[in-house]
Amino acid sequence: MTPTRKSRIIIKPISSRLIDLPAPINISLWWNYGSLLGIFIFIQIRTGIILSIQYCPNRELAFISIIHITRNINIGWIINRIHANGASLLILLIYIHIARRIYYGSFHTKKVWITGVTMFILTIIRAFIGYVLPWGQISFWAATVITNIFSAIPYIGTIIVQWLWGGFAVSNPTLNRFFIIHFIIPIIIILITIIHLIFLHEIGSNNPLGINSNSNRISFHLYFSVKDIIGFRLYISLFIIIVLFFPNISKDPENFITANPLITPTHIQPEWYFLWLYAILRSIPNKLGGVIALISAIIIIYLPSTITTIKKKSSRFSYKKKLIFRILILSWSILRWIGKCPVEWPFIQIGQIFTILFFIFFIIIPTINKE
């Protein structure tokens, strides 16, 4: 008795199912970012494990251990550069990946969207904690400022802050806790990534026209694996240029000074990928209101998938859809700029205007997508 078609599919190995995965014939290079993210997550985990062998989570030794890795360990300088710059490039790829899914209305695949946004949130938390670990001047004060915002929560805020600090200030217990969390989060990200891929392969990839037809699908390999290789080569080339020639392009000069709790930097700002969140936090004059706005700015990314009721997006790209998407990109870019500006007029007012536009976008985009 010959096995049925269904049983033959089940017993196929995972690698074979990936090669034979039916993919829409018209997907472009914008669909490469999922595989690129997988590669850069692997790079970050691999280099992070190597760095952790020599890193010392102690306020007296953390900064010195980074210098030791860079100067004394064989190829330690390039491992450190890869890990530090890889975090920036990884989050840049995530931003592009999310923007592509929003532009093409892919958020209607609820399970895929929700797991993807969850991975994004875990990644930015891990990036912030990793930014603190070198124990430079800006790292220390960024940890102090960001963790202290939880004190605005009524009744339990002070308890949360003291638990995060492990005392009454950012010190050794804080550094140890951040180091452990920085190690645990990648494990959770890997598990969610597997779930994300399972959900994605259940429904298949979206395409620019939104046409869900099995007749317009072809095998993933060789057609799209070649596209993935092209995208990988482009970004790896860019990454190598940054690592070798511009390794400090996104770093604050004051972070090359060891942390000093007695000297406050003139202008504290986070890494470039947190500036838009920092601007939203500062746009509300009330401390508790700023915390609520900051948390809402992250949680609201779940909203388009949870309130949309359509099964597939429209294949017609109206001028209204394109205009609203450009407003989102403009709002995000302006908020990034505002995050670097001092807290004074007119930057506060500009930040408030574009914060409102940012929130409005995620409320109206599911209704626009129905057209």
Instruction: Dump pLDDT digits (tens) for 84-132.
Output: 999 999 999 999 999 988 888 777 788 889 999 999 999 999 999 999 9
- The span from the CA of 159 to the CA of 178, in Å, is 17
CATH number of 269-371: 1.10.287
- Alpha-carbon separation of residue 47 from 226, 327, 351 (angstroms): 26, 37, 37
Identify the active-site residue in 65, 88, 106, 205: 205
Q: Which long-range contacts (CB under 8 A, 24 or more apart) does 219-226 make?
A: 219/19, 219/20, 219/21, 219/22, 219/23, 220/18, 220/19, 220/20, 220/21, 220/22, 220/23, 221/18, 221/19, 221/20, 223/23, 224/23, 224/27, 224/31, 225/19
16-20, 42-46, 123-127, 267-271: which has the minimum mean pLDDT?
Answer: 16-20
Distance from the first to the final alpha carbon of the chain: 51
Does this model's pTM top 0.85? My answer is yes
Provide the pLDDT for residue 367. Answer: 66
Catalytic site includes residue 271:
yes
Q: Which of these, 174, 82, 84, 131, lies nearest to 268 by C-alpha position?
A: 131
Identify the active-site residue in 227, 251, 287, 340: 227
* pLDDT, tens only, 168-197: 889 899 999 999 999 999 999 999 999 998
Identify the active-site residue in 65, 83, 139, 228: 228
Catalytic site includes residue 20:
no
Locate CATH 1.10.287 in the chain: 269-371
CATH of 23-261, one of 3.90.930.12, 3.30.70.270, 1.10.3720.10, 1.20.810.10: 1.20.810.10
Confidence check: pLDDT of 232 > 90:
no
Locate CATH 1.20.810.10 in the chain: 23-261
Provide the pLDDT for residue 107. Answer: 77
Provide the pLDDT for residue 287. Answer: 84
Q: How confident is the model at residue 349 (pLDDT cuts 50, 70, 90)?
A: very high
* pLDDT, tens only, 30-49: 888 888 899 999 999 999 99
Catalytic site includes residue 182:
no
Identify the active-site residue in 68, 110, 111, 201: 201
Identify the active-site residue in 88, 252, 271, 283: 271
Catalytic site includes residue 60:
no
Site of tokens 């994605």:
200
Catalytic site includes residue 322:
no
